Chains A and B, each alone.
Chain A
Amino acid sequence: MTTPTLEQFKHDAAEKTADLHHRAVIQKAIATYDAAVARGRLRFADWQNARSHAAAIKWETINHLDRYLEQFERNVLANGGHVFWAETAEDARVHVLQLARQHGVEKVVKSKSMTTEEIHLNDALEVAGIHTVETDLGEYICQIRGEPPYHIVTPVMHLTKADIARTFQQKLGAPLTDSAEELTMIARARLRQEFLTADMGITGANFAIADTGMVAITENEGNARLSFSLPRVHVAIVGIEKLIPSFEDLALFWPLLSASGTGQAITAYSSLIGGPRQERETDGPREFHVILLDNGRTRLLADAEQRDALHCIRCGACLNACPIYKNVGGHAYGTTYQGPIGSVITPHLRDAEEWSHLPYASSLCGACTDVCPVRIDLHHHLLHNRRNAVQNKFDDPIQRLLFRIWLATMQSPMAYAVASRLGNLALRLGIAQRLLKPWTATREFPTPPKQSFKDYWRQHGRRA
């Protein structure tokens, strides 16, 4: 059934697919990514085996998530940190605001985190009068443009260097330049001051390690390291699916994530946070807080069929492989998580009816499933979501009726034969073309064959 969200999606998809410049920009960015990732995978002796191994570890973790989460909590507490279990986005936001008030926080620096995007944390902080600064270059550009990230790994994939230079000129009053280095220096000069004067650092987590109580953060700019080490308080907001059982698992997951995310052997900065500043240490935050976020994830966990969607390590490979993403881009989805993984999990994490159209916005080509480093059965889960939508009666009643009629036709060879002839006639008279207007508006429908296969068989079937 149609919803305003679906209408918005159709509107945005039509606008973006008609924008050839936009499509060229992202397809070029993804082509560069593809080349890097192809090289990245070659560093693995056996990429397919690495995927299977990673999937097995994630399967174990997700199927015993209760146990690993409690183990993680015990170890964080033992290291002197704090753990808060947030069932909803609001629980998480309220807790962050409480911590901020408690510590007299006026300024927050943030490193890149899709989880904080998911709970709309920046808005909540700004409303509370707390100045919040994104410090990842891409996220910083998004923030000053007032846009959500375009891609879970590459927030400004849709912008060219010239677009960014214009943004800096308009929003920061910076001189126009076509040098990437100069653009980076403009952001860097501003961000350095923010790091030095911030009271709280908020990060996400790429992995939460159960047996050590550590949070692992992967980045390329050093901004995350500054975000969690300079301010007095560090808050890491962690989706509960980010758990891995053991410290040793990082040996696989760090290179797996970087190979799939950017093609790198390992990202430039790989940090492990094991707690607040210890007694004999001279730097680091005084307090370390972990917020474990559910926000619908346990609903997905309860669904044995699609539970493996919680394997996701947010590498973005499925977005880059997706021919739909490559043509509509990240903003059209209207979700925090775009592309195939977003279309799989969003109906579970958010309102199932409102987002029931996303699983249908796929040709089911399967390219996503082939690249997923943790072997999530993405395109089959899109099918499962479609079936769930029909079972829950989120489908269009007219479509439902058409499929009933269609089934009746397909169950009877006689009705099928009549329908085939009527179909051919409708084609010849141009009626079928009008009925299939969405398709035929831009394409020619095939001309009906001179002879059907059934007629051919009547003539030639007995020859052998």
Chain B
Amino acid sequence: MVTVLRRLNVDVYYPKEQTCCGQPAFNTGYWDEARTLATRYCEIFAEADAIVSPSGSCTAMVRNFYPELLGKANQTTAHTYEFAEFLVKKLGVTDVGAKFSARVTYHDACHALRELRLKDEPRQLLRNVKGVELIEMDQAETCCGFGGTFSVKFPMISYAMDEVKVTSIQKTGAQYVVSTDSSCLMQIDGYLRRQNLPIKTISLAEVLAAT
């Protein structure tokens, strides 16, 4: 992400005191704990023009749920963007000059898709990568089954969902499955490796950084 942003002459800064947005606590019902981290986030990132995250899930937490958690939206929550969203919607860039020779399929991370409404943006970026052949899977919008603590509380359901997802990925004949969110990719990769399947996972940011 840093490589791509710098390629596009964006001044990147990384506040080292940052930790977690609080989503694991929030989604498990621990709103007081999450609120503490939400307040912390808003203080740490108060000075930034834009806060960019390689995760639809973290971004949705900040932009969609912080206002509910904190009782109001603010400049920091409003200026937090998912990486693909930032490139396409804020910078107006759909070709980042990347090169990646492979057949890929794209997995819609639920929060990028349904909380942030990012459907075309990541695909536009992917299609403009030299060498990428994007093959759509039939269940691109179906959840991979991660869902944070859900995948530990109900591993059998989470695993069945993973299986549905990977079956759909396999049918495309893709070499790589690409997504905005590393948690989805971890879930999918965990299944692929356990089953010794030759498909690899890679984040959209890594594809866009490749030259």
Contact = CB atoms under 8 A, between A and B. Distances in A.
Interface of A: 10, 13-14, 17-18, 23, 27, 323-324, 326-328, 360-367, 369-370, 383, 386-391, 395, 399-400, 403-404, 406-407, 409-411, 413, 416, 436, 438-446, 453-454, 456-457, 460-461, 463-464
SS class of chain B's interface: helix, strand, loop or mixed? helix
Interface stretch (B91-99, B121-129, B151-159): B151-159
Contacts of B156: 10, 13-14, 17-18
A395 B33 CA distance: 14
A328 B160 CA distance: 9
Interface string B136-161: 00000111011111111111111111
Interface string B184-208: 0011011101100000000000000
A442 B155 contact: yes
B152 A438 contact: yes
A387 B29 contact: yes
Interface stretch (B16-24, B76-84, B170-178): B16-24
Contacts of B40: 411
Contacts of A327: 157, 160-161, 164
18 contacts: A17-B159, A323-B145, A324-B157, A324-B161, A364-B27, A364-B110, A383-B26, A390-B31, A391-B29, A403-B24, A407-B37, A410-B19, A411-B40, A439-B155, A439-B158, A440-B190, A442-B190, A444-B194
Given A436-B152, A438-B155, A442-B194, A410 B161 contact: no
A390 B18 CA distance: 26
A362 B19 contact: no
A370 B28 CA distance: 22
Nearest to B115: A366
Contacts of A323: 142-143, 145, 161, 164
Q: Which 10 A-B pairs have the closest CB atoms?
A: A363-B147, A443-B190, A386-B29, A390-B29, A365-B143, A366-B114, A444-B193, A17-B160, A365-B110, A327-B160
A318 to B, nearest CB: 13
A395 B31 CA distance: 13
Contact of A413 (B16, B33, B151): B16
Contacts of B29: 383, 386-391, 395
Nearest to B111: A366
Interface string B4-22: 0010000110101111101
Given A323-B164, A362-B147, A17 B157 contact: yes
- Residues of B in contact with A, size category: 35 or more
A23 B161 CA distance: 11
A445 B190 contact: yes
Nearest to A322: B143
A361 B150 contact: yes
A365 B14 CA distance: 30
Nearest to B161: A323
B85 interface: no
Contact of A406 (B24, B153, B193): B24
A13 B37 contact: no
Nearest to B113: A366
A444 B190 contact: yes
A403 B154 contact: no
A400 B30 CA distance: 8
B74 interface: no
A383 B147 CA distance: 12
Contacts of A463: 6
Contacts of B24: 403, 406
A383 B27 contact: yes
A361 B190 contact: no
B141 A367 contact: yes
A363 B145 contact: yes
A360 B37 CA distance: 22
A388 B159 CA distance: 27
Given A410-B20, A439-B152, A439-B155, 9 more contacts: A13-B154, A327-B164, A363-B150, A363-B161, A366-B115, A383-B27, A407-B25, A438-B151, A444-B194
